[in-house]
Amino acid sequence: MAGRGKLGVIAGGGALPLRIVEGCTRRGEGVCVIRLAGCADAALTAFPGEDCGLGEAGRIIEALRREGCERVVLAGLVRRPNFKSLRLDWRGAALLPRVVAAAARGDGALLDLLVAELAAEGFRVVGAQEALDELAAPAGVMGAYAPSADDLADMRKAAALIAALGPFDAGQGAVVAGGLVLAVEAAEGTDAMLARCASAPVPQGAARSARGVLVKRPKPGQDRRIDMPTVGIETVRRAHAAGLAGIAVEADGALVIDAAETIAEADRLGLFLYGFDPEETHAP
């Protein structure tokens, strides 16, 4: 696939950038990794690329162009600019006022700005699932366990709630248990949301010990090339610690990192992993 040209990977925190880089390398595709200071995984230094501050927009664009990257993926991006690791260059400084204004409106606005800037420079910005198609969540039951009718009802409610929050650029996750909204995700992220579910009062009268569904899906109208919801082994472990029955994500609207290991862990802990069609989430 050398004909596609090198893939530029602007790498933030978490496991996603490394998985993409490893996957492309395995398939013989070249990469240029822009390791963002203060968040990129140290293991990424084994691959060709550069360490940059998020504010070095000029240097980032120059490096991507010099290496002949036509496609660029933003993966595991920092969610809020940290001024200590920005390392502004002239180009970054020129962008800064718009970055600050966008950051204040929410993560979605900030990422839309970055994508527009890269596109204006002639790069084709692709989603993580296009860069490495094994990441996209499939439809249906992924592991050994399937959601019950009650679980599907909880899933539909959480999915509809996330859709209703779309205009507020608030979050991509919610937990519903036995019809009760246990938690709604905002700036704190999925891990913190699951942590508080672990100490939440469980609805009484539940016939099962494990109850409740974590749902993650993109915001309505969200650009699918950036900031896709992700789940992985840690998500499964935290959902289990929170006493949930399973995890549902929108098929093709979320990334499953290390899918084989993640599904194996869900099987081991007795949780279902389910990819839903958006059509399924309408109330019956």
Q: Which residues bind a copy of itself (CB under 8 A)?
A: 79-83, 100, 103-106, 157, 160-161, 164-165, 167-171, 174, 178-188, 192, 196, 200-201, 203-205
Q: Which of residues 104 and 120 has its CB atom nearest to a copy of itself in the complex?
A: 104
For residue 161, the minimal CB distance to a copy of itself (Å) is: 5
Q: Which of residues 49 and 147 has its CB atom nearest to a copy of itself in the complex?
A: 147
> Whose CA is closest to 250, among 278, 279, 222, 226?
278
Q: Which of residues 141 and 202 has its CB atom nearest to a copy of itself in the complex?
A: 202
Q: Which of residues 49 and 212 has its CB atom nearest to a copy of itself in the complex?
A: 212
Q: What is the dihedral of CA 156, 129, 92, 100, to 10 degrees?
A: 0
For residue 241, the minimal CB distance to a copy of itself (Å) is: 16
Taking a C-beta distance cutoff of 8 angstroms, is the pair 249, 268 a contact? no
Work out the angle between the directed axes of helices 90-105 and 107-120 (0-180°, nearest 10).
150
Q: Which of residues 137 and 194 has its CB atom nearest to a copy of itself in the complex?
A: 194
For residue 173, the minimal CB distance to a copy of itself (Å) is: 11
Tokens 């293991």 belong to residue: 43
For residue 174, the minimal CB distance to a copy of itself (Å) is: 8
Which DSSP symbol is given to 3?
G
For residue 15, the minimal CB distance to a copy of itself (Å) is: 21
Q: Which of residues 67 and 151 has its CB atom nearest to a copy of itself in the complex?
A: 151
Q: Which of residues 68 and 167 has its CB atom nearest to a copy of itself in the complex?
A: 167
Tokens 């002949």 belong to residue: 68
For residue 107, the minimal CB distance to a copy of itself (Å) is: 8
Token pair listed for 103: 């950051």
Taking a C-beta distance cutoff of 8 angstroms, is the pair 186, 171 a contact? yes
Taking a C-beta distance cutoff of 8 angstroms, is the pair 171, 214 a contact? no
- C-alpha span between 20 and 166 (Å, rounded): 28
Number of H helices, E strands in the chain: 9, 13
Taking a C-beta distance cutoff of 8 angstroms, is the pair 8, 36 a contact? no
For residue 195, the minimal CB distance to a copy of itself (Å) is: 9
| DSSP run (H or E) holding 143 | none
Q: Any alpha helices (H) in 132-204, and if so which ranges?
A: 149-164, 189-198
